[in-house]
Amino acid sequence: MDRDREFARGRPVAVLVFVTGLAWLTPAFAHAPLLDCYIEGDSVKCEAGFSDGTSAAGKKLSVLDASHKLLVAAVLDKTGAYSFKPPKGDYQVVFDGGDNHTATIYSTEIK
Partner 1 sequence: MPVRFRAAAVAAAAGAIAGVFSPFALAHFQMLYVPESALERAAETPMAIVFTHPFHGGPTMNMGLPRSFYVVSQRGDDAAPVKTDLSKYLQPIEWQGVGNKAAAYRAKLPREVVRSMGDYVFALEPEPYLEKEEDKYIQQFTKLVMNVGGVPGNWDKPLGLAAEIQPLNKPYANWVGGVFSGIVLSQGKPVPFARIELEYVNHAPDLNAQAFATAGAIEAPHPSYENISVRADAAGTFSIGLPRAGWWGICALGVGPSKKHEGKPLSQDAVLWVQAKDMKR
Provide the minimum distance between the beta carbon of 67 and partner 1 in the complex, in angstroms, as a whole number: 27
- C-alpha 14/C-alpha 6 separation (Å) is 12
- Compose the 52-91 pattern: x for residues touching partner 1 by CB under 8 A, - for all others: xxxxx----------------------xx-----------
The site for partner 1, by CB under 8 A, has a size of 15
Provide the minimum distance between the beta carbon of 47 and partner 1 in the complex, in angstroms, as a whole number: 6
Provide the minimum distance between the beta carbon of 78 and partner 1 in the complex, in angstroms, as a whole number: 9
- Compose the 19-58 pattern: x for residues touching partner 1 by CB under 8 A, - for all others: -------------x-x-x-x--------x-xxxxxxxx--
Residue 27 or 65: the one with the smaller Cβ distance to partner 1 is: 27
The residues, any chain, with a CB within 8 Å of residue 107's CB and separated by 6 or more, are 86, 90, 91, 92
Count of all residues that appear for the chain in the document? 111
- C-alpha 53/C-alpha 42 separation (Å) is 29
Residue 34 or 74: the one with the smaller Cβ distance to partner 1 is: 34
Strands (DSSP E) contained in 1-111 are: 33-40, 43-50, 60-65, 70-75, 81-84, 91-96, 102-106
